[in-house]
Amino acid sequence: MENLKKDGIIPSLAVIIVGDDPASKIYVKNKKLACEYCGIKSLEYALPAETSQEELLALIDKLNNDNSVSGILCQLPLPKGLDEEAVINAISPKKDVDAFHPVNVGKIMVGNFDFLPCTPAGVMELIALSGIEVKGKKCAVIGRSNIVGKPMSMLLLHQHGTVTICHSKTADLKAEVSQADIVVAAVGVPELITGDMIKEGAVVIDVGMNRLPDGKLTGDVEYESCVVRASAITPVPGGVGPMTIAMLMKNTVKAALLNKTK
């Protein structure tokens, strides 16, 4: 970061939050703390729930044209009445540190990307740092969302994994998961994946974050039954979540470098 500052580059992240969603507020707070830790300038735009589509798009346009802003992130979900797709499309692809814009999604498909979605990128970083080989392995991704499931599948494919995408219409989930060497659960169903579903020695990565009626946080994986069979497994909380934030910081720095000539 010091080298960037010597070159006159100061990475900055503009985070837009609309409304009073408690979970969104926590996520925004964590991102702000991460920026402070990394030396990235944090800009927060807290807008009331009654903000109009026009007002939100005007703010994004202003930030797109502000050369001091490296990256822009609009915290989802948005309040009812606001068009999330239009908001995602309005953010400049060069400042889209979530990598949700169709231009960046397309680049991920062909493998020529500037940014990766933060959670799938965090998963791949965990896999790499753990010394786990993806090449030639059977991979099961549970969930087909645009934010995690689909890009996660593409990144595993880029690393030469053989990928199966499972979802709510998959005929026999257990049969598919039981064949996988690497399992990524990202569907938002508490403890859906149980120990009897995974093969001995599988790598199990839990992207889910669900709150049970008693207030306890749990993932999409039943940890206790899977940990005794898996060769590696991520906990919830404290597993993929911190990696997601780390990848956001990485994307913000990359955006600062991409936009330095603007």
pLDDT at 6 over 90: no
pLDDT score for 27: 85
31 in catalytic set? yes
pLDDT score for 261: 55
| pLDDT, greater one: 22 or 228 | 228
CB atoms within 10 A of CB 80: 7
pLDDT score for 87: 98
CB atoms within 10 A of CB 61: 13
Residue 127 corresponds to which tokens in the numbers above? 């896999």
* pLDDT digit string, tens, across residues 87-124: 999 999 999 999 999 999 999 999 999 999 999 999 99
98 in catalytic set? yes
DSSP designation for 221: B
Are 16 and 72 within 8 A, CB to CB? yes
159 in catalytic set? no
pLDDT score for 262: 45
The whole-angstrom separation of Cα 182 and Cα 139 is 5
3-state secondary structure of 159: coil
DSSP codes, 24-78: HHHHHHHHHHHHHHHT-EEEEEEE-TT--HHHHHHHHHHHHT-TT--EEEE-SSP
pLDDT at 11 over 70: yes
| Catalytic residue (choose from 98, 114, 181, 220) | 98
3-state secondary structure of 139: strand
The whole-angstrom separation of Cα 238 and Cα 260 is 34
Instruction: Look up the pTM and report it.
Output: 0.92
pLDDT score for 1: 64
pLDDT score for 9: 85
* pLDDT digit string, tens, across residues 32-78: 999 999 999 999 999 999 999 999 999 999 999 999 999 999 999 99
CB atoms within 10 A of CB 5: 11
Is residue 2 very low, low, confident or very high in pLDDT (cuts 50, 70, 90)? low
* pLDDT digit string, tens, across residues 155-207: 999 999 999 999 999 999 999 999 999 999 999 999 999 999 999 999 999 99
Domains annotated for the chain, with CATH where assigned, are: 2-97 (3.40.50.10860), 118-240 (3.40.50.720)
